[in-house]
Structure 1
Amino acid sequence: MVVSPETGLRYVERAAVERTAAAPSLERTCRWAAVNSGTGNLSGLSTVAQQLADAFSTLPGDVRLVPPAPAERVREDGTVVALDHGHHLHLSVRPQATRRLLLTGHMDTVYPVDHPFQTITDRGDGTINGPGVADMKGGLAVMLAALEAVEAAGSAIGYDVVINSDEETGSFSSSALIEQAARGKLAALTYEPALPDGTLAGARSGTGNFSIVVRGRAAHAGRNPENGRNAVTAAAALTIMLEQAKGPRLAVNPARIDGGGPNNVVPDLAVLRVNFRPKDAAEIARARAAIDAAVAEIAATRDVRIAVHGGFNRPPKPIDPGAARLFETVRVAGADLGLAIAWRDTGGVCDGNNIAAAGTPVIDTMGVRGGAIHSSDEFLIVDSLAERAALSAITILRLAENGL
């Protein structure tokens, strides 16, 4: 191995670093972020998907725009309807390679087409402010710059790229695509933003989202209330029971109750929305048991019908031995670049949860350094575009040569 005496990097790695620094990552980020791609904006998602397909077509392999899998949601009136999503991008490079990686990101943002936050602003302090610049149009630019540098280095590693259009709402129409792409991979890198100081996410809690439809019986609130079955109070009682399941390793957040009507009518419909955050598989089982028990008790004692919709769409992501080895690879690559790479556990979730559940070691915050995501103050630290692209490129080159 030929090593540069100045940095501890091999010369081929130094060349990769130089190439990532020269990539038009800021221009790409601003171009992609200028198009609103809120999860529900199918027109904007279509535009961004084509922009990304054109950009990633400079890599070898075939770029496909994959139709979304069926997904559904529960409306405020308790009916279940199909939920439309945009297409997902899938690129496969050297599928017969001995060592293969998965790189994932998302093109959607949390800002709908009518949101007031639509403009990119250069703050003059080394950051830009704009919708999705950190989460994660900047991350997609980092991914592309890193892969271009890896290709220029002549690496023979194989990889799949999946960029979905529905990550911000749970990846319901793309989770099967991600799971399939993750199987058999040596490791995976996902381009969610790191914290402003560069800290990465370690272990993650899982998440489960439920819409629980309670159907009672309407009656006149003054003349014959005893003939009614109040769905709102039943949903409220269900809320209290479910909240009692929370513990040190299970967060429970009843977020909303839809239902009710005129004051003189006993309401016959309510929809409870509740989120669970389990830290391990045992807590998923405990949460499911709590839901079943609460539903059975409230249905029996209040004479209402209850239907439970939803599930645990993001399994918990532990740091297992494979993930620990991958973190060490990234840490050493960072050290050779003069970066101190640290990580800490988080209650947030992303596609990294699903990748880990497929048995593939993953680091899911390989994107830019930034912050205030999901708000109008979202920002990206511009220098981190080249910095994080270099970190990815060195990590990929070393995985190609040494494995995990």
Structure 2
Amino acid sequence: MKHAPRVLRRSLARSAAIAAALFAVPAAAQRLSPAEAVMARTVDADYDRSVALLERLVNQNSGTLNLDGVTKVGTMLRAELEPLGFTVTWKPMGAVERAGHLIAVHRGKPGTKMLLLIGHLDTVFEPSSPFQTFVRKGDQAEGPGAGDDKGGMVVIVAALRAMQAAGTLKNANIEVHLTGDEEKSGSPHSIARADLIAAGKRADAALDFEGLVIDGGRDMGSTARRSAIDWRITATGKTGHSSLIFGPEFGDGAINEITRILAAFRKELPEPNLTFNTGVIAGGARATIDESGTASAGGKTNIIPATAVAVGDFRTLSPEQTARVRAKMEAIVAAHAPGTDARISFGEGYPAMAPTAGNQALLARLNGVNRDLGLPEMPALDPLKRGAGDISFVAADVDSLAGLGPYSTGDHAPGETVDLPSIRRQAKRAALLMSRLSAERSAR
């Protein structure tokens, strides 16, 4: 019509303004439920609080063998989790010469999914390390464990706070397991990981809060982690004057024997998803490598070496691959050169987290969260780019997803640096994913 009545014109103007406002709201925000929008806002509002918590955690040394320091970090996390409605237990691990584990349980609505959240209290930096202090540099912060895994624990707390603010935590069934010896596990694992393994058998999904991996500029989802199994080879030979080496009486000597073995490993072992490494080697008239990896050796150029020792590890993607590679290594070691002997032994190691269909389904759920947050899809990470972790102890029993902690660089070395904004990104992802999963019926 050419001239609408004034009231009608005002009404049309208001409708147009409302429509314009709706279109101005980011598409991602429109896909979030009201509770999810609250979670996203809460993570942002609590950002400074999260960084302050990270600073406190990092400034408390918790090298694996600093039992008192690991315990103190556990106390700090207790203070964060109890106000959120968790029943917190400290499980001492004196039986395996470690500090202990923090276990926090939140009971929600019966019959809904149980979520297992995994992180660790300890770092590789013992009190003797010169790297001890949190230093913030804008959006970056360096410090011992800033990423691995104190940053991961901060993401857990930030996500749970957001769930509490949105009202999704009250009905959620969640167990948090923060181990005190992930970087140097106590032995035997039948004691050191008994509680974690039992929790995996109860859970419907396991979420690991070690660091996010960015590959080619893209955040990646970790549906698999390889094993890490230590090995030690001790070779012996007949000692005598060097002029008699390779003869029928004295044979090849211990160093040549261990060299034969390692060369055969390099030639015969390679296969997809396998890596193997020799970390330390020593040989001579006498040679030792202690549990810390410190080597000692002595001898002379004109004496056939009597002893050689090598230590290393190998990493696989499945229990079947582990068994196959181990058998190959044993067969190579057993094919002794003349006049020598050799033995190989294996440590308990960390099992593999195989890339199962259930793990892929969890990543698909996370990518649903990414779409609703307006974040790019996360492809599955090549497991060759991810080391071993505690989640592998439960992965055979429950669908699992790793890498929900923040992004960091230089882990395990002085200068370890965390990207602070990634704490917010990861906490939002975790809060929404946990809220959605925990509202579903359990299949157990």
For normalisation by structure 1, the TM-score amounts to 0.85
Over residues 176-210 of structure 1, what are the superposed CA-to-partner deviations in whole Å (9 max), with x where a residue is unaligned? 33211111311111111113553232333333221
Shift of 1:281: 3.5
Map of 1:216-235 to 2, 5 A cutoff? 216=237, 219-221=239-241, 230-235=253-258
Over residues 110-143 of structure 1, what are the superposed CA-to-partner deviations in whole Å (9 max), with x where a residue is unaligned? 223222222222223x111222111111110110
Task: Check 1:378–1:290 CA distance in 2 against 1; reply closer, same or farther (3 A cut).
Answer: same
Check if 1:113 corresponds to 2:127: yes
CA contact (8 A) 1:20 1:149 kept: yes
Check if 1:293 corresponds to 2:331: yes
Choose which of 349, 368, 392 in structure 2 pairs with 1:353: 392
Correspondence for 2:404: 366
CA contact (8 A) 1:231 1:267 kept: yes
Over residues 86-133 of structure 1, what are the superposed CA-to-partner deviations in whole Å (9 max), with x where a residue is unaligned? 211111222883220100001112223222222222223x11122211
CA contact (8 A) 1:235 1:257 kept: no
Check if 1:138 corresponds to 2:118: no
Shift of 1:403: 5.3
Correspondence for 1:317: 354
Letter of the aligned partner of 2:153 in structure 1? L
Distance 1:62 1:50 in 2: 13
CA contact (8 A) 2:330 2:344 kept: no
Greater shift, 110-119 or 303-312, is seen at: 303-312
Check if 1:335 corresponds to 2:371: yes
Aligned residues between the structures: 384
Task: Check 1:95–1:335 CA distance in 2 against 1; reply closer, same or farther (3 A cut).
Answer: closer
Check if 1:14 corresponds to 2:3: no
CA contact (8 A) 2:333 2:342 kept: no
2:321 counterpart SS class: helix
Distance 1:32 1:63 in 2: 18
Over residues 195-236 of structure 1, what are the superposed CA-to-partner deviations in whole Å (9 max), with x where a residue is unaligned? 35532323333332212334556x454698756984433332
Letter of the aligned partner of 1:391 in structure 2? R
- Any stretches of 5+ residues in structure 2 without a counterpart? 1-25, 288-296
Correspondence for 1:47: 72
Correspondence for 2:280: 256
Greater shift, 254-263 or 91-100, is seen at: 91-100
Task: Check 1:213–1:85 CA distance in 2 against 1; reply closer, same or farther (3 A cut).
Answer: farther
For normalisation by structure 2, the TM-score amounts to 0.78
Check if 1:149 corresponds to 2:185: no
Distance 1:189 1:107 in 2: 16
Distance 2:409 2:180 in 1: 21
CA contact (8 A) 1:37 1:48 kept: yes
Correspondence for 2:182: 167
Larger Rg: 2
CA contact (8 A) 1:200 1:341 kept: no
Letter of the aligned partner of 1:85 in structure 2? R
Correspondence for 2:223: 202
CA contact (8 A) 1:229 1:304 kept: no
Correspondence for 2:271: 247
Choose which of 228, 237, 246 in structure 1 pairs with 2:260: 237
Correspondence for 1:185: 203
Task: Check 1:42–1:231 CA distance in 2 against 1; reply closer, same or farther (3 A cut).
Answer: farther
2:148 counterpart SS class: helix
Correspondence for 1:74: none
CA contact (8 A) 2:60 2:69 kept: yes
Distance 1:151 1:169 in 2: 34
Task: Check 1:390–1:283 CA distance in 2 against 1; reply closer, same or farther (3 A cut).
Answer: same
Over residues 17-48 of structure 1, what are the superposed CA-to-partner deviations in whole Å (9 max), with x where a residue is unaligned? 22223332101111001122222222322222
Choose which of 71, 77, 84 in structure 2 pairs with 1:59: 84
Share of identical aligned residues, percent? 27
Correspondence for 2:233: 212
Letter of the aligned partner of 1:317 in structure 2? A
CA contact (8 A) 2:224 2:402 kept: no
Task: Check 1:326–1:316 CA distance in 2 against 1; reply closer, same or farther (3 A cut).
Answer: closer
Correspondence for 1:398: 436
Letter of the aligned partner of 1:52 in structure 2? L
